Amino acid sequence: MTQTASRPSASAPVQLSHADIRSILIGIMLAMLLAALDQTIVATALPTIGHSLGDMDDMPWVVTAYLLAATAVTPLYGKFSDIHGRRTALLIGIATFVIGSIACAVAPSMLVLIVARAVQGLGGGGLISLAQTIIADVLPPKERARYQVYIAGVFMTSSLAGPVLGGFLSEHLHWSVIFWINVPLGAAAYLLAGKALRKLPINHRPHRLDVLGAVLMTVATIALMLGLSWGGVRMPWSSAPVLSAFAVALVFSVLFAVRLARADEPLIPAALLRNGVVCMGTAAACFGMGTFIGLSIYLPVYFEIGLGLNASGSGLAMMPLMVSTVVGATIAGRAITMVARYKRIPIAGLVLAVVATAMMATFATVMPVWLVGVTTAVIGLGLGTVLPVTTIAVQNAVEPHQLGTATGLMNFFRQLGGAIIVAAFGAIVLADSGRAALGGTEGVSAASLTPRELLSVFPHVFAAAALGFACSLLFLILMKEMPMRGSSRRETHAAFAD
């Protein structure tokens, strides 16, 4: 085996040294940290930002604008990287994210900040899925699982440090610092990743980006997420803007489906849509991660308003869920290398998560805080086992030149599932409180409910969470369990030679 170029093609697999793999991992972990930290550091600074810019009404759009843009472009990065290479795609994402961060830091008004956050999202949307795809490029599935601890460490760091940093920097320095810190981090990620990824194998295969399909999918996604973010909060579900957003989403989704059926090279290849592992694994991840996101949004409300904890106490009460999720992901990632029936691990984990959320649904109004912590730790431990297994199983089931598209597709539906389930939890809270009606004139926020009202509706939220985890469990059981490919990149290509 010889290496004829500094960037070898996948048709001539190369063996990367441990030092090469480590340098690549350091670069992409920094890139992943940029996106992961941004999702947690901004929330605690929002009140300060709103007061500073004199606009509290539009404050939620600081989060929504980023989420809309990031979700819409996630699958585009995957396809683009399959065509032009991971290094090019990742560097574009990092550069765009840093430019958006600078624009956020100097924003003179809330409107400019919202637009800048959308630019940030255009860059950040591909960083996490590209990092996962690059790991798949340099490591076969069995070895890849061992490196899940690095990914888990990034998310644990961002989950624990983000809220603390956001509150401290905005209170003691200035809120713009939470965006300025992205500049040195982004520069380091750009330099390290840019250098390390020159050694990354690429797939020389003619592709074309389906621009029309990308536009149709982006419009459908943005319209759907706008309807979900508006409905029941800013305006009633039956209001014209909300219904119009859903109508636009439906129309463009149908047009996108037609485009997928007729395009010579669609944005999502037909082979992926027919792949049972990809479809079932993505659905399992969508419901599992979506339910987790929903719980991470509404558990603080349950802690603060329902159980009477302050903001600091609520943050501490969230730690069992966050930390145990990372522990579960690490355990499952390690176990994949040692067992053949790797589905049994997340199946057992989801059974635990369903039982634990059902317990909270039954006793949410009477459980002491310490028992809630233990229960949420069990939920996190169970859910954590799903994330690495579904990701690696999906990547294991596709051809090497489709890794980016498949990984981007999975991350897209994870984020979209989160948006839908958060909206569903919000609808349950408002409907069960008797304060929301389809014919109403204004939306209702959870913060407007009395503690007694809120506590009384949370059993239904936890019951919905149990249903979400049960759906994830069902799709995971239906997912075909393909043998994990071994320790060489040549075996990866040989598996699809036919």
Digit-coded pLDDT (tens) for 309-360: 776 676 677 788 878 887 888 787 777 767 778 788 889 999 999 999 999 8
- pLDDT > 50? residue 2: no
Rounded to whole angstroms, the Cα distance separating 395 from 227 reads 32
Digit-coded pLDDT (tens) for 57-84: 666 677 777 877 787 777 778 777 777 7
| Amino acid 358: pLDDT | 92
Give residue 11's identity as a one-letter amino acid code: S
Residue linked to tokens 């624009």: 103
- pLDDT > 70? residue 56: no
Q: Tell me the three-class secondary structure of the chain, residue by residue.
A: CCCCCCCCECCCCCCCCHHHHHHHHHHHHHHHHHHHHHHHHCHHHHHHHHHHHCCCCCCCHHHHHHHHHHHHHHHHHHHHHHHHCHHHHHHHHHHHHHHHHHHHHCCCCHHHHHHHHHHHHHHHCCHHHHHHHHHHHHCCHHHHHHHHHHHHHHHHHHHHHHHHHHHHHHHHCCCCHHHHCHHHHHHHHHHHHHHHHHHCCECCCCCCCCHHHHHHHHHHHHHHHHHHHHECCCECCCCHHHHHHHHHHHHHHHHHHHHHHHCCCCCCCHHHHHCHHHHHHHHHHHHHHHHHHHHHHHHHHHHHHHCCCCHHHHHHHHHHHHHHHHHHHHHHHHHHCCCCCCCHHHHHHHHHHHHHHHHHHHHCCCCCHHHHHHHHHHHHHHHHCHHHHHHHHHHHCCCHHHHHHHHHHHHHHHHHHHHHHHHHHHHHHHHHCCCCCCCCCCCCCHHHCCHHHHHHHHHHHHHHHHHHHHHHHHHHHHCCCCCCCCCCHHHHHHCCCC
Residue linked to tokens 């669609």: 266
Buried b (16+ CB within 10 A) or exposed e, 274-308: ebebbbbbbbbbbbbbbbbbbbbbbbbbbbbbbbe
Q: For the residues 218-237, what does the mean pLDDT come to?
A: 76
Tokens coding 104: 């956020």
- Measured in degrees and rounded to the nearest 5, phi and psi for residue 205 equal -150, 130
- pLDDT > 60? residue 461: yes
- Measured in degrees and rounded to the nearest 5, phi and psi for residue 386 equal -75, -40
- pLDDT > 60? residue 6: no
- pLDDT > 70? residue 434: no
Give residue 305's identity as a one-letter amino acid code: I
Q: For the residues 143-158, what does the mean pLDDT come to?
A: 66
Chain centre to alpha carbon of residue 289: 8
| Amino acid 409: pLDDT | 77
Q: For the residues 457-463, what does the mean pLDDT come to?
A: 84
Rounded to whole angstroms, the Cα distance separating 46 from 324 reads 27
Task: Name the most confidently modeled range: 54-58, 192-196, 393-397.
Answer: 393-397
Q: Which residues contact 94 (CB under 8 A, 6 or more apart)?
A: 31, 34, 123, 127, 186, 189, 190, 193
> Which among 161, 178, 223 has a CA at the least distance from the CA of 48?
178
Alpha-carbon torsion 126, 127, 133, 138, what sign? positive
Rounded to whole angstroms, the Cα distance separating 406 from 75 reads 8
Digit-coded pLDDT (tens) for 88-134: 888 888 899 899 989 988 888 888 888 888 898 888 877 877 877 77
Tokens coding 131: 């990092």
| Amino acid 171: pLDDT | 66
Decide if 448 contacts 435 (C-beta within 8 A): yes
Q: What Cα–Cα distance (Å) separates residue 477 from each residue in 153, 209, 272?
A: 28, 34, 19
Alpha-carbon torsion 325, 329, 331, 332, what sign? positive
Query: To 5 degrees, how large is the angle CA 428–CA 433–CA 438?
Result: 70
Cα end-to-end span (Å), the chain: 22
Rounded to whole angstroms, the Cα distance separating 393 from 490 reads 18
Rg value, the chain, Cα: 22
Count of residues for the chain?
A: 498
Decide if 8 contacts 490 (C-beta within 8 A): no
Rounded to whole angstroms, the Cα distance separating 76 from 125 reads 9
- pLDDT > 80? residue 255: yes
Decide if 256 contacts 217 (C-beta within 8 A): yes
- pLDDT > 60? residue 270: yes
| Amino acid 425: pLDDT | 77
